[in-house]
Amino acid sequence: MIALVAAAALAQTLPEVEQRLKDERAAAKTLAGKEASVLGKLADLERQIELESRGLRAAQARLRVATARLSVAEESSRKTQAQLDRATQVLQPRLVARYRLGREGYVRFLLGSTSVIDLIRRSHLFNVLLKSDLEALSVLRNQADTARAALRSAGAAGFVNKPFDPFTVAAELTAFARGPSQ
C-alpha cells in the first residue's frame, strides 16, 4: 500500500519535476547565451584595446622622432641667434653711425676729404664697408630663414603643439572601451 501511495504521489510530482527541469534548462540556455554574448563583447574590447595600444605605441614613436627633430631645430635656432647677436654687436656701431649721419652722411663723409686721392680712398672704403655689411646682412637673413623653416618642419609633425599626456590617453581609451552608449 505504501508503494501505491508513493507511486500516486510520484505521479503527481513527476510532471512538476519535469516542468521545473524544462524551466531550469531554459534558464541555463538563456544564461549560456548571455555568457557567450558577454564573452564575445569582452573579446571585442580586448581586440580594440590591443589596436589602440598599438596605435598609442606608434604615436609615441612618432612623438619621439618629432621631439628629436624639434630639439635639433631648436639647437640650430639657438646657434643662429647667437651668430645674429654677435653680428649685431659688430655691425651696431656702424649702423648707429650711419643713422646719425643721416641721408647726407655719405656726402659729408666724402666732402670731408682733403684731396682727390683722399676722396677716392674714402669712397672706396665706404663702398667696401657697405658691401661687407650687405653681405653679412644677407647671410644672417638666410640663416634666420633656414632656422625658421627647420622649426616649422619640426612643428609640422603635429606633436609639437600638443604635449603627450598619458592621463588623457588613458581617459580616452576608457571612454572608447565603454562604447558610444555611455
Average pLDDT over residues 106-128: 87
pLDDT computed for residue 67 by the predictor: 86
pLDDT computed for residue 143 by the predictor: 76
Residue written as grid cell 604635449: 163
CB 168 within 8 A of CB 94: no
Residue written as grid cell 631648436: 74
Distance CA 147, CA 143 (A): 6
- Name the burial class of residue 17, with classes exposed (0-12), middle (13-18) and buried (19+) by CB atoms within 10 angstroms of its CB: exposed
Return the higher-pLDDT residue of 130 and 95. Answer: 130
Amino acid at 75: E
CB 58 within 8 A of CB 142: no
- State pLDDT tens for residues 133-163: 788 778 777 877 777 777 677 665 444 444 4
pLDDT computed for residue 6 by the predictor: 61
Reduced DSSP (H G I as helix, E B as strand, rest coil) percent helix, strand, coil of the chain, to 5: 90, 0, 10
Nearest-5° angle of CA 144, CA 147, CA 149? 110
CB 157 within 8 A of CB 60: no
What does pLDDT average to over the chain?
A: 77
Return the higher-pLDDT residue of 122 and 171. Answer: 122
Q: Which of 36-50, 66-80, 151-165, 168-182 has the highest mean pLDDT?
A: 36-50
The count of other CB atoms within 10 Å of the CB of residue 87 is: 16
Distance CA 125, CA 96 (A): 18
pLDDT computed for residue 177 by the predictor: 53
Distance CA 128, CA 47 (A): 72
pLDDT computed for residue 158 by the predictor: 46
Smallest CA-to-CA distance from 158 within 86, 70, 74 is with: 70
